[in-house]
Amino acid sequence: MIKKMTLAALAVGVLAVSCSSDDDSGTPQEELADLRLDLNGLEPLGNGFTYEGWIIVDGNPVSTGVLTSITFPQTMRVNATQLSNATAFVLSIEPANDTDPAPSDTKVMAGDFAGNTATVNTGVVGDFTSASGMFFLRTPTDEMGMNNGNDQYGVWFGTPGMPPTANFNLPTLPEGWAYEGWVVGDSGPLSTGTFTSFSAVDSSSLFSETQQPGPPIPGEDFFINAPAGETFPLDIRNRNVVISVEPVPDDSPAPFAMKPLVGIAGEETAPATHPFGQNLASLPEGSVTR
């Protein structure tokens, strides 16, 4: 009887030692802490891209994870020590299924921690507080040196002249971003093309005539290749005209959330100009709390 009790005690002891070894395997469990994101103004991306958060620790970016939605507030679980030592938070746009451990050039928002809170905004993209610009209605791609009396079918960003000149007051964008012009048509926004220079042609002439090149400023005539739901030529008068800030690369056909300039085309064509108004409320912002 004593022998059986001794063996039972030994078995319990071995089991206890075994369980302790499993728990203390020499790899300490990572201590995690909550990072709360309360962001406003973000909009869905194309299928090929996603938002990702980063904290800056000792000058190096550490991923806090990919955002699974743009509904806020939301909480991310982060290494507690790294989060405690973080000096800033950054939100970037990354390719879906990205294998690069570093953030892309396309950083949307950033802010430094003051205590346990970082106020984040789009200052990392540019300062739009003085944003302004003008546009005019003219159809240079079908004029062949003559005014055909149909200038209501084109919009160009600048001041009319021979040649027209740029008049944007906008910041030069960092790598990962470009401006894009839009006219709101009958079925939705129509792109006039992306651009990074205010004094050069933009990336697209999809809708313009082909009789002659457009002027050395961004813009578009709307004569050909009408999308579904649109009737060309498109009369721009009394329509909304928008300048957005777009991520590069970008697979979404819609304007990005950042639309610093919005205007309404009046009745007059060139040489009259129409002003853009500021739309700074469209710029994403928010706070991040640890």
* Token digits of residue 200: 């050069």
Q: How far apart are CA 12 and CA 155, in angstroms?
A: 84
Cα dihedral 22, 25, 27, 31 sign? positive
pLDDT above 80 (res 227) = yes
Report the pLDDT value the prediction gives residue 97, as an integer from 0 to 100.
87
Rounded average pLDDT over 99-106: 94
pLDDT at 20: 38
Predicted pLDDT at 179:
98
Structure tokens at 24: 């203390």
Residues whose CB is less than 8 angstroms from the CB of residue 254 and which lie 6 or more positions away in sequence, other chains included? 43, 188, 189
In this structure, are residues 66 and 52 in contact, taking their beta carbons and an 8 Å threshold?
A: yes
Confidence band of 18 (pLDDT split at 50, 70, 90): very low
Mean pLDDT of 227-254: 97
Query: What is the reported pLDDT for 146?
Result: 58
Q: Grade residue 210 by pLDDT with cuts at 50, 70 and 90.
A: confident
The amino acid sitting at 249 is P
Phi and psi (nearest 5°) for 236? Answer: -80, -20
Q: In Å, what is the CA distance from 56 to each residue of 23, 63, 64, 108?
A: 32, 9, 10, 15
Low-confidence winner among 55-59, 97-101, 158-162 (lowest mean pLDDT): 97-101
Model's pTM, two decimal places?
A: 0.88
For the cut 60, the answer to whether the pLDDT of residue 34 exceeds it is yes
d(CA 184, CA 206): 16
- Rounded to whole angstroms, the Cα distance separating 119 from 114 reads 8
**Res. 17: pLDDT tops 50:** no
- Which candidate, 153, 133, 129, places its Cα nearest to that of 141? 153
Residue 221 token pair:
């005539």
- What does the DSSP 8-state code read for residue 132? B
% of residues, the chain, pLDDT over 70? 89
Residue 187 CA from chain centroid, whole number: 23
Buried b (16+ CB within 10 A) or exposed e, 201-222: bbebbebbbeeeebbebbbbbb
Strand order in the sheet with 74-79: 60-66, 49-57, 88-95, 107-114, 117-120, 285-289, 32-40, 74-79
